[in-house]
Structure 1
């Protein structure tokens, strides 16, 4: 179908307590766009959820590292959103009160583990020195000792009275320092200003390096055991307090407040209204049945003042080419959707400019493997296949001509034909655009206006092009000129309309002729591709040994693929958007924008 289809209006009456559950289920289908009749805000009982969600966010900032990160699922409780979230917060406070001592202990263990790792690194770096760590740890009260950690690019200016040992590491510089208490205080302030850190000398340090390393390893093992036990207690508290369900409820309400901006609600019921791409309604009905929401779904006529969003209705083989149409907007309900035409023409233009069997197969193969990750890869798959086909037509494989006989001709053997064929194809392409404009006028109910103002353009265009082959065709152009001038005068019943009509005619015909000549670039790039391929082959032939020949052939083809895929893609896009679309396309339609699907709560990160 070469016309966008309006979405279908739907309404659902749902119990207020089940509204979030219903919205989540409908959004998960990916087929609804919400729109209210006249309401521009959420009902008060939904707005009151916002401050509660802020409290939830405050909890998250403090505890998210100790919360479950998977397996979240909302409850099936039928209750008011505010009450559900208030219950979530109350139970979270109970969990926090129980878990706080364990969390604080975990944080102390993590800090101690980090200090031990730091000392292990420093001790390894200064192995072999005679530094007496036990005496450093016992220094005071007149002398102070510390370890200073600074970024690699920091430029400190320490007091000359301080004694220090510099230790270089990959990301930081460390200084083991001894100074008077007053000087150490000033140096520490400087380190903090330089975004560094000050570490105390560990009291457990001994003069024997082996004893220090043994202590570090033993203490690290103890910390690991204690941390695992603490983490296990926290995990057990997740189950005891039902945190996964609590977070599922909170994340569902958070999603609703973030994505649903207006609802028509009363004291007991909420009316959810909008548009759907599920024209049969089966997916929406199944979603409601599955979620358990107390709701009634029905499909009345859309409100009189509502403008339906539009959907592309193209078959799967042409959908990648919607990329071009979407670049300029959504076709209006009375416009033609050229996607299926582009699915044929775009690969033909690309393949004509890039005709080579080997290079086309490489493009198609790469696009095949990337087709699920990148939408444009599915488009390039068709283009690569077309390039392979034109490679047979031109007799080119990996830039080499002569290995196979051309099914048509070699571009450099007949450059004039290579240039004229795309010009003729471009004329047919533009004619199709003019025909689409006529069809759109019929859909808008403006056929009389089109006959009066635009119908003469086609014979003028055909006549001028035909005159290149037969001078008699000029009479066709003359008849078209007469129609273009007479039509507005007849419709307005005024001869004064002839002059502006003549101006519009001259402008449009000149644009059409210039647009037609633009398609010569398709042939020009086909010749450029053949010329570059010929240059690569000449370099290969001049190479003194087979290994160098193979290397030059590979590098030459890699250069062609890298450079010309980009250049040919740009030229194809330019011809489609600026020569073809300007004939008929306005892009003033309203695109269907489905309500974002809720997060997969089983995988969502808090």
Structure 2
């Protein structure tokens, strides 16, 4: 089982210039490449022409956002000049806009006529048999300004109209106004209805002189208009599936992604040079990926400059991934540090489950985390933690706070509090010991093996000897030998100034002993939270039992249980994180590394969506 972090290699890949975008896609698809944008290594690629083309495409497409076809985020590989690709996309969009705009213009015209005729229908219905009001609009009135307006029922006119005749009729959905005034009253009338909620109804010229014939004429015209609208709507809908534009949208998305990565590329007349970091151990692995995609390129590994550090990658298996968030919170291990992923898979659920031992509550955590698996991937750690809580619930015989439903496999916490407090300290001692061992492994990797053997190894012996003294008097002999070992080792390491070395070693020893003691005692909190859970569950049952009816009992019980699960999940997670960080990680993990961030392919890249 691998303990060391995965070291990445600095590489340089060469691909023919016309296959640049395709090569970048292939490398991103491996999930094992991080581009290096260090200006000392790479020169920026001039992409202004492509960026300008993308902006022009976006500007043209913006007014038609709702009509654009759905498209794939990852089109076929581009192996032609990028300015040709962008120009072709713009030409395709302009052709599509010209086609759809002619249909939309006619559609808007017909829809406006349809809406006006429907309002006129409603107005005629509000008149009943009394058509004399229409004479104000149909008869010649010299040079008067005349208008029929449909307004919402609750919409008042802006201001007071002076020297204007106003006739009001109420329809089913609108209030209709006939406004008649002198020509100089036109600005006043237009201002009164300028808010846009009132709609002017123009009487069509084809209406018959007899008002009684209007309803049938309007019905006939509405049928014709609706008949003409239907094929236009079908045409517009079909334009949403235009295949050439769909491909062009995909090409532009790929170019947009490419311009975001182009700072890490350099070009000459024939080749594109891609520099970055890879978790592959051999350049032949990257070459194989390129050649399999039909790219005639090659890859070589470079020496890492002394002033730079390679990014590192921790264990990334499906079972270790839920706990990577804990490592990222603390920091990234360097290449000469232990990757604690394997240990966290066991330690975090153990600590969490012991502090939250309940079969029912653990089941709720598992179900909730599984339900939110896709929306909240960071919460996947709750699945193993919930399973652990269920197992410890069996150990302590606790189901939703009831301790009489099942028989405990071990004991009931409130009946044996000392055993519950002491048991997790055994785990704590083991975890602290493991952290000290990991520190020794890292010392060997850094070439400081003898320093660890002479000093730090003695500290492990002193720690174990001190613990053994609590159970058997012979443990003090081991502790005394370890103390002599520690002092002698410190003097050997600093032979030239023995007195100074002795003083510093005693100071470091006292500090280390104090820290180890506090770290060990800190694991008492694990048992304390297990007892607190049992006490809180008992209190919840007592609160529910104090209610006056069966219905209120279950309502209160469910509410209190929900509160207990929420609070304890948060508190126990915080305590688990604290124990892992300050009692385990602190013993060996400096976490001064740089995380490896693989380049994402276009369909996964977090980018601004295209219009």
Q: Distance in 1 between matches of 2:133 and 2:583?
A: 80
Matches for 1:420-459 after TM superposition, within 5 Å: 420-459=422-461
Instruction: Tell me, yes or no, if the aligned pair for 1:73 and 1:244 is still in contact at 8 Å.
Output: no
Listed as ranges, the gaps of 5+ residues in structure 1 are none
Deviation at 1:232, TM superposition (A): 6.1
1:414 lines up with 2:419 in the alignment = no
1:577 aligns with one of 577, 581, 585? 581
Q: Deviations over 1:331-378 (max 9, x none)?
A: 100111111111111111111111122222232233334434433443
- CA 1:321 to 1:92, structure 2 compared with 1: closer, same or farther past 3 Å? closer
Match of 1:594 in 2: 598
- CA 1:49 to 1:440, structure 2 compared with 1: closer, same or farther past 3 Å? same
Q: Distance in 2 between matches of 1:419 and 1:437?
A: 28
Instruction: Tell me, yes or no, if the aligned pair for 2:122 and 2:171 is still in contact at 8 Å.
Output: no
Match of 1:58 in 2: 59
- CA 1:74 to 1:340, structure 2 compared with 1: closer, same or farther past 3 Å? closer
The secondary structure found in structure 2 opposite 1:79 is: coil
1:202 lines up with 2:201 in the alignment = yes
1:271 aligns with one of 270, 273, 286? 273
Matches for 1:416-565 after TM superposition, within 5 Å: 416-470=418-472, 473-474=475-476, 476-492=478-494, 493-494=496-497, 495-539=499-543, 547=551, 549-565=553-569
Instruction: Tell me, yes or no, if the aligned pair for 2:313 and 2:595 is still in contact at 8 Å.
Output: yes
Q: Distance in 1 between matches of 2:220 and 2:283?
A: 69
Q: Distance in 2 between matches of 1:530 and 1:125?
A: 75
Match of 2:385 in 1: 383
- CA 1:311 to 1:86, structure 2 compared with 1: closer, same or farther past 3 Å? same
Q: Distance in 1 between matches of 2:313 and 2:347?
A: 22
Instruction: Tell me, yes or no, if the aligned pair for 2:45 and 2:263 is still in contact at 8 Å.
Output: no
Match of 1:80 in 2: 81
The secondary structure found in structure 2 opposite 1:412 is: helix
Match of 1:7 in 2: 8
- CA 1:260 to 1:501, structure 2 compared with 1: closer, same or farther past 3 Å? farther
1:398 aligns with one of 395, 400, 423? 400
Q: Distance in 2 between matches of 1:254 and 1:334?
A: 38
Instruction: Tell me, yes or no, if the aligned pair for 2:291 and 2:297 is still in contact at 8 Å.
Output: no
2:353 aligns with one of 351, 354, 358? 351
Q: Distance in 2 between matches of 1:95 and 1:605?
A: 17
Instruction: Tell me, yes or no, if the aligned pair for 1:321 and 1:343 is still in contact at 8 Å.
Output: yes
Q: Distance in 1 between matches of 2:320 and 2:121?
A: 60
Instruction: Tell me, yes or no, if the aligned pair for 2:12 and 2:302 is still in contact at 8 Å.
Output: no
Aligned Cα root-mean-square deviation (Å): 4.4
Instruction: Tell me, yes or no, if the aligned pair for 1:39 and 1:263 is still in contact at 8 Å.
Output: no
Deviation at 1:531, TM superposition (A): 0.9
Deviation at 1:431, TM superposition (A): 2.2
Moved more, 81-90 or 451-460: 451-460
Moved more, 482-491 or 321-330: 482-491
Instruction: Tell me, yes or no, if the aligned pair for 1:14 and 1:295 is still in contact at 8 Å.
Output: yes
Q: Distance in 1 between matches of 2:171 and 2:224?
A: 26
1:17 lines up with 2:22 in the alignment = no
Q: Distance in 2 between matches of 1:19 and 1:313?
A: 31
Listed as ranges, the gaps of 5+ residues in structure 2 are none
- CA 1:76 to 1:505, structure 2 compared with 1: closer, same or farther past 3 Å? closer
Instruction: Tell me, yes or no, if the aligned pair for 2:137 and 2:147 is still in contact at 8 Å.
Output: no
Q: Distance in 1 between matches of 2:318 and 2:517?
A: 34
1:227 aligns with one of 221, 224, 232? 232
Instruction: Tell me, yes or no, if the aligned pair for 2:9 and 2:301 is still in contact at 8 Å.
Output: no
Match of 1:158 in 2: 159
Match of 2:339 in 1: 337
Q: Deviations over 1:493-523 (max 9, x none)?
A: 2122333443333333323322322222211
Q: Deviations over 1:298-342 (max 9, x none)?
A: 343545556432222354323211221111221100111111111
Deviation at 1:60, TM superposition (A): 2.0
Deviation at 1:569, TM superposition (A): 1.7
Q: Distance in 2 between matches of 1:483 and 1:339?
A: 33
Deviation at 1:481, TM superposition (A): 4.6
Q: Deviations over 1:147-182 (max 9, x none)?
A: 5679x9x99973375869799999xx9996958677
Deviation at 1:32, TM superposition (A): 1.7
Matches for 1:20-99 after TM superposition, within 5 Å: 20-35=21-36, 38-44=40-46, 46-70=47-71, 74=75, 78-97=79-98, 99=100
Deviation at 1:76, TM superposition (A): 5.6
Moved more, 91-100 or 433-442: 91-100
- CA 1:72 to 1:392, structure 2 compared with 1: closer, same or farther past 3 Å? closer
Match of 1:311 in 2: 313
Q: Distance in 1 between matches of 2:521 and 2:249?
A: 63
- CA 1:26 to 1:113, structure 2 compared with 1: closer, same or farther past 3 Å? farther
The secondary structure found in structure 2 opposite 1:397 is: coil
Q: Distance in 2 between matches of 1:498 and 1:332?
A: 32
Matches for 1:72-221 after TM superposition, within 5 Å: 74=75, 78-97=79-98, 99-108=100-109, 134=134, 141-142=144-145, 146=149, 158-159=159-160, 178=179, 185=187, 196-204=195-203, 218=223, 221=226
Q: Distance in 1 between matches of 2:288 and 2:237?
A: 40
Q: Distance in 2 between matches of 1:331 and 1:89?
A: 47
2:263 aligns with one of 257, 261, 264? 261
The secondary structure found in structure 2 opposite 1:274 is: strand
- CA 1:491 to 1:547, structure 2 compared with 1: closer, same or farther past 3 Å? same
Deviation at 1:55, TM superposition (A): 1.9
User: What TM-score comes out, normalization by structure 1 length?
Assistant: 0.82
Moved more, 327-336 or 183-192: 183-192
- CA 1:120 to 1:504, structure 2 compared with 1: closer, same or farther past 3 Å? farther
The secondary structure found in structure 1 opposite 2:200 is: coil
Q: Distance in 1 between matches of 2:347 and 2:263?
A: 42
